[in-house]
Structure 1
């Protein structure tokens, strides 16, 4: 069997849009897939720094 993987940015660097992680994780559960979130652009983006 082949593994399924959904990959996304946590925050998209071009416009600052935050990924819909709940929707992505729901989709992964539906299709028995793993998720990988690239969050390198989110460092210091939200909350106290």
Structure 2
């Protein structure tokens, strides 16, 4: 799960550091980051529990 969080952090950093205008950054996050996050939250089981 740690690798997944690192990948999401990398994606967010890439979007925020890109030369896109703010509304394009928000659209990119809503299109690429949030769906991946929602999928992982619903389908990854923590083995520590």
- TM-score normalised by L of structure 1: 0.40
- TM-score normalised by L of structure 2: 0.40
Write 1 or 2 for the structure with the bigger share of strand.
1
Write 1 or 2 for the structure with the bigger share of helix.
2
